[in-house]
Amino acid sequence: MDEELIPLSLLKEGEEGIVRSVQGGKGLISRLASMGISQNARIRVLQSAGGRFIVEAADARIALGWFEVSHIEVVRSHPRREETVPAPERRRLLVALAGQPNVGKSTIFNILTGLSQHVGNWPGKTVEKKEGTYITENTEMHITDLPGTYSLSAFSEEERITRDFILQNRPDVIALLINAASLERSLYLLSELLLLGPPVVVALNMLDVAESSGIFIDPAKLRKSLGIPVVPMIATKNSGINDLVAKILATADGEEPYHPVIPGVSLDHEEVFCELLDLIHEHVSLESYPSDWVAIKLMEGDGEISKMVKDRVPDFVRERINALLIEHEDALRAVVNGRYAWIKAVTEKAVFRKRMEEVLLTDRIDHILTRPVWGIPILLGVFALIFLLTYTVGFPLQKMLEEAVVNLGHSLEPLFLSAPPWLKGLVFEGVIGGAGSVLTFLPILVIFFAVLALLEDVGYMARAAFVMDRFMHLIGLHGKSFMPLCLGFGCNVPAIMGARILESRKARLLTLLLIPFVPCTARLAVLTFMTAALFGQAAALVSWSLLTLNILVLGIVGMAASALFLKDEQTPFIMELPLYHKPNPRTIGMVIWNRSLSFVKKAGTVIVLVSMVIWLLSYLPDGRLESSLLARGGRLLEPLGHPLGLDWKMVTALLTSILAKENAIATLGVLYGVGDEGLVRLLPSVISSASGLSFLVVLMLFVPCAATVAVMRQEMKDRRWFYLSLLLTLVISYLGGMGAYRFALWLGL
């Protein structure tokens, strides 16, 4: 049967054909051939519209014009089925990335997953969950970055999440990140992971840091003594990443020798361990829970495992287990001693320590940064430098972006010449004047995000917590509470969630009470914006003073609350101080990107909506601001603003800031009618320095944003504390605004 030759242009979208003829000059034929379109090639039409075609040939998408298509003739074909060789099915591996805090997990996770990662929360938890994919050859690795944890006890959310994930999801491979500079401590987590079942690949990271500290490790000897794969690497230099992936694949395929040396208990408790093991084997079916691990957890006194076992065994077995554990009350010490004996044995021949005569760089830096006299002034100085950097770099960029927003408004004006006045006002004054003013914050916020991420990455934030421990004790807390408080400088929402690391309920409630007094990046951005506009050369000093005021208020409130509620509470403080190391640009870049993207999304959604609503309220019912619905509501509250030196427009701006702090600027931009001048140039002509100072004091101490309030209510689980915290911020901010206004007038501002 003869084939029917037709032009390619007659094929419909989705139809296939086989090329039988390509006409035209040599140049056209050669060009088409280089793109995979030649005689006998299979071609499929993906799109045909307006004389333009998109076709698929040789596994590539190619765009063609009408002239090129007219020179190609094909015969119709049905999509290949049996004749096509199916691509090999891509296998999936579940890889758990585990490790203690500050071992470089985030760096490796970011390198492997890039922008394919997804960040959320663990189900029913407030602990961050990171997942991502890495594809190599025919394998798709699904990587879960487990929370950093020092052990697998059930004392914290992170520990429970890590062990539950491994026991319930049974990953194909666990990649355990180990800090070579703290090898013995890092191996403690390995001693527990080996009992859980899934194969473990050790990633021996930060070798450069270890060598600079005089610690030299032989990976081959360590691998021999452990009996499991060991990969030497320096993640910050992208060294060893490919070797780690190769070892994970080889271990999953069973091609890598895997004969782990399992840690035991001390010799004087081996009989106890064996008897517990026999009782478990005989009477308990523990499904995915390995018997050895359960017996160890019983000796440790793990509450969750002890309850589970006792619920499943007969009474006489329960009594025997209780009798054994009561008779051997030091069973936990036997487990710990057994692990450290194992650690000593596996590291004995693999680790060499050079005698260091000089003080390490970390010790020299800490000798200054953690001293009682210098620690807090240096911390305040760090924040002062952040403001200085913001004004010298961020503010000029912010002004350039503001001019761009103004120019955008001008460029859109011709499109709205015939539009009704309300639509013009909504777009130019509501969206561009309001949300556009907020969007100009981006350079300032990027600097805040970058500096905080840098300080965290190099290891300074742990020192900040250590330094603040002395200050925190004055308010009945300890340095660990400083970590969620410090997170508040980024955003109060994760700060409140982070308070779950505190074991004491009273300490947690007090920390939650104090977090709203920590100025988040949104407040700091408003502070930076308005002080630069109102105070000129003194802007940095005013900003630093208001930040210091916030910290002092936080301390005073904490001391008062502590005296009333936490008089008898003990506040121990145990925290790792990681070695200082070079910052990783990729990790810092990912933090800046994610936080900046979150801000842009907020500016494009919530803040745009609020700006439009505020403008409509300022326009209705007759198009005049002075008689608008917003003006009527604002004037009802204006008497409250008089002692603060605030008019109804500024009071309204404070109220809209409850939805999002950036709305304060958006509202001022709408109500004061930002035109060609831009808000920075307009503010000094409509707000006095005294009123501006009062406004900023109230804003910095005022009720937090709606998202923070919602999370506070959820986390506090106590209505009295929740309403007390809201009332406290209202009263303190109002009194603070009054005091600031009177003080500014006294100074003659």
Question: Is 127 part of any known ligand binding site?
Answer: yes
Q: Is 221 annotated as a binding residue?
A: no
Residue 304 in marked binding region: no
| 148 is an annotated ligand-binding site residue | yes
By the 8 A CB rule, do 471 and 486 touch? no
The answer to whether the annotation marks 675 as part of a ligand binding site is no
Consult the annotation and say whether 245 binds a ligand. no
C-beta of residue 57 within 8 angstroms of C-beta of residue 34: no
Q: How far apart are CA 116 and CA 96, in angstroms?
A: 16
Question: Is 65 known as a binding-site position?
Answer: no
Q: Exposed, middle or buried: residue 246 (CB in 10 Å: 0-12, 13-18, 19+)?
A: middle
Query: Binding residue per annotation — 207?
Result: yes
Report the chain's terminal Cα–Cα distance, integer Å.
98
CA distance 1 to 238: 61
**Residue 206 labeled ligand binder:** yes
Grouping H, G, I as helix, E, B as strand and the rest as coil, residue 239 is: strand
Q: Is 344 annotated as a binding residue?
A: no
- The annotation status of 179 as a binding-site residue, yes or no, is no
- From residue 22, alpha-carbon distances to 7, 36, 51, 113, 247 in Å are 10, 12, 19, 44, 50
145 is in an annotated binding site: yes
Does 110 belong to an annotated binding site?
yes
* Residue 231 in marked binding region: no
- Residue at token pair 């099915």: 89
- Which token pair is 692? 């501006």
Q: Say whether 137 counts as a known binding-site residue.
A: no
Contact by Cβ (8 Å): 707, 495: no
Query: Cα–Cα distance between 355 and 346 in angstroms, integer?
Result: 21
Tokens 């000897």 locate to 221
Q: At which residue do the structure tokens 């699904």 appear?
A: 142
Taking alpha carbons only, the member of 471, 679, 457, 454 closest to residue 573 is: 471
Q: Are 193 and 174 in contact (CB under 8 A)?
A: yes
**CA 373 and chain centroid, separation:** 33
Q: What is the dihedral of CA 664, 670, 675, 679, to 10 degrees?
A: -10
Tell me the C-alpha distance between 699 and 679, whole Å.
18
CA proximity to 408, closest of 440, 385, 381: 440
- The tokens for 257 are 């020798």
CA–CA distance, 445 with 593 (Å, rounded to integer): 11
Report the C-alpha gap between 337 and 354 in whole angstroms.
Answer: 26
Q: What is the residue whose two structure tokens read 């798709």?
A: 140
* Residue 671, annotated as binding a ligand: no
Q: What is the DSSP letter of 127?
A: S
Residue 602, annotated ligand binder? no
Q: What are phi and psi of 95, to 5 degrees?
A: -115, 125
Beta-bridged to residue 140, according to DSSP, are 92, 135
If we measure between CA atoms, which residue out of 724, 668, 675 comes closest to residue 699?
A: 668
- Residue 638's nearest CA partner among 646, 627, 630 is 646
Residue 205 marked in a binding site: yes
634 annotated ligand-binding residue: no
Quickly list H helices, 121-182: 157-169
Taken in order 342, 348, 353, 355, the sign of the CA dihedral is positive
The edge-to-edge listing of strands for the beta sheet with 72-77 is 5-7, 72-77, 16-22, 42-49, 52-57, 60-65
Identify which of 259, 234, 258, 229 has the alpha carbon closest to the alpha carbon of residue 246.
229
- Amino acid making up residue 370: T
Tracing tokens 């003869």 back to the chain, one arrives at: 2
Establish whether 106 is an annotated binding residue.
yes
CA distance 657 to 495: 19
CB burial of 335-349 (b: ≥16 within 10 Å; e: otherwise) equals: bbbbbbebbeebbee
**φ, ψ for residue 284, nearest 5 deg:** -125, 125
Provide the annotated binding site.
99-106, 110, 113-114, 124-128, 145-148, 205-208
Provide the annotated binding site for GTP.
99-106, 124-128, 145-148, 205-208
Provide the annotated binding site for Mg(2+).
110, 113-114
